[in-house]
Structure 1
Amino acid sequence: MDAAPQPSPNPSASTAATATTTAARPAAATRRQPLSRDSSLMPRYLELIRSGTKTVEGRIRAGKWADVIPGDIFRFFSTQAPPSSTLPANTNTNSVSVRCRAITVRQYDSFQAMLEGEGLAACLPGVQSLEEGVEVYRSIPGYREREAVEGVVAVGLELLLTDDC
């Protein structure tokens, strides 16, 4: 004999569980400890993060960017001198880096949706229009093709420490 299904003792718990399981990120991924990660950045964006002007990093949702959680620590680096650099001529730009903590992580289907949701100025300071911002991301090799397939992730950043490692 089959037993009749038992109602959940807490109907709101059932709703909460449904909301968690329908999120883009599996629930198990959010239970892990924060990770330390390294990632390269174009010099211009490294300097904007260092200055506190750029507060959101947008990427294709793949590889290490597919499972970012709040609390992950990033060391962003560039091996090139930033344009119109304020660094002294003898500075070793091969080791300039910035450390940040991921404070928010939001997933989007497109760069346009990400820029609308996070704000153009937070993602791309100095870019004047949404269309220009979308094109900045899509001009990165491979991003135009991968955007529709993998989606994008917006990581809100808290500047921790500027290193010259």
Structure 2
Amino acid sequence: MTDTTARVHELNLYRKYFDLVAAGTKTIEVRVKYPHLEGLAAGDTIRFRIKGTDETCTVQVLRVSEYPNFEALLDGEGPTNVNPTTTRHEQLVNIRAIYGPDKEALGALAIEIELSRALP
């Protein structure tokens, strides 16, 4: 039997991305396909936290899509959904500064999100 219970995930987020999520303008979160994110699915909740603070923002996961790399993810999802304030090229540089080539080789996840009103 498969467990279909929605879960709450706690993830850290840099301030500049946190602010975009909290404003509702960033609708795609980019992550490496780490094993601990393998079960992430539509209906789950993510509580983003700015590391070292109590500041949080809660979102609902609408969809999770896998891509072989960050370039394919930006092409598939549209850079405006990932970060409406920077160009595709700048986003690729920024993402790769966070996740090196060894991490990108694991694959990329595009997590479609919307602000949650259910949890603080």
* Equivalent in the alignment of 2:81: 122
Q: Which residue of 1 aligns with 2:11?
A: 39
Does residue 63 of the first structure (1) align with residue 35 of the second (2)?
yes
> Aligned-pair distance for 1:77?
0.7
Residue of structure 2 in register with 1:157 after alignment: 113
With a CA cutoff of 8 Å and minimum separation of 6, indicate the structure with the bigger relative contact order: 2
Letter in 1 for 2:58: R
Q: For residues 95 and 109 of structure 1, what CA distance do their matches in structure 2 show?
A: 34
Alignment-mate amino acid for residue 42 of structure 2: P
2:13 counterpart of 1:54: no
In terms of fraction of residues, the more strand-rich structure is 2
Task: Confirm or deny: 8 A CA contact 1:60 1:143 kept in the other structure.
Answer: no
- Structure 2 counterpart of 1:98, one-letter code: C
Q: Which residue among 95, 102, 116 is the counterpart of 1:145?
A: 102
Correspondence 1:100-119 to 2 at 5 A: 100-119=59-78
Alignment-mate amino acid for residue 38 of structure 2 = A
State the distance in 2 between where 1:40 and 1:62 align: 14
Q: Distance in 1 between matches of 2:38 and 2:101?
A: 17
Structure 1: 5+ residue runs without aligned partners?
1-27, 81-93
| Partner SS state of residue 5, structure 2 | coil
How is 1:7-18 mapped onto 2 (pairs within 5 angstroms)? none
4+ runs of 1 displaced by more than 4 Å? none
> Normalising by the residue count of structure 1, what TM-score does the alignment of the two structures yield?
0.66
Pair 143,33 (structure 1): closer, same or farther in 2 beyond 3 Å: farther
Q: What are structure 2's unaligned runs of at least 5 residues? A: none
Q: Counterparts of 1:134 and 1:156 in 2: how far apart (Å)?
A: 18
Match of 1:131 among 89, 99, 102: 89
Cα separation, partners in 2 of 1:143 and 1:70, compared to 1, 3 Å: farther
Q: 1:79 offset after TM fit, Å?
A: 3.4
